Amino acid sequence: MRKISATLITIILISILLIGVSDLPEFGKENNPSNNILSKTYIENTSKETGAANIVTGIILDYRALDTLMEATVLFSGVTVIILLFKV
């Protein structure tokens, strides 16, 4: 019974993943979401709008500052918990 249920769950999960992959846009097409106007806007306007030395710094520290702060908070919390657990 355990092998049958494991096989059924595996088949269901594989089916769900294949359905999801079949819905992805074709690679290299002009109208893909990865080729939208946002990336062009970042490339053209980041240095002017943020005053950053390069595009990556401008995006991370200006456009996505709150997200970066939360990621840093999560990493700091994780390190703190590890230090407390191992009592280093």
3-state secondary structure the chain: CHHHHHHHHHHHHHHHHHHHHHCCCCCCCCCCHHHCHHHHHHHHHHHHHHCCCCHHHHHHHHHCHHHHHHHHHHHHHHHHHHHHHHCC
pLDDT bracket for residue 60 (50, 70, 90): confident
* pLDDT at 35 (0 to 100): 67
pLDDT bracket for residue 9 (50, 70, 90): very high
Q: Hey, where are the domains in the chain?
A: 33-88
Q: What is the pLDDT of residues 26-57, one digit of tens each?
A: 777 777 776 677 778 888 888 888 888 888 88
How much is the pTM?
Answer: 0.43
pLDDT bracket for residue 16 (50, 70, 90): very high
* pLDDT at 82 (0 to 100): 93
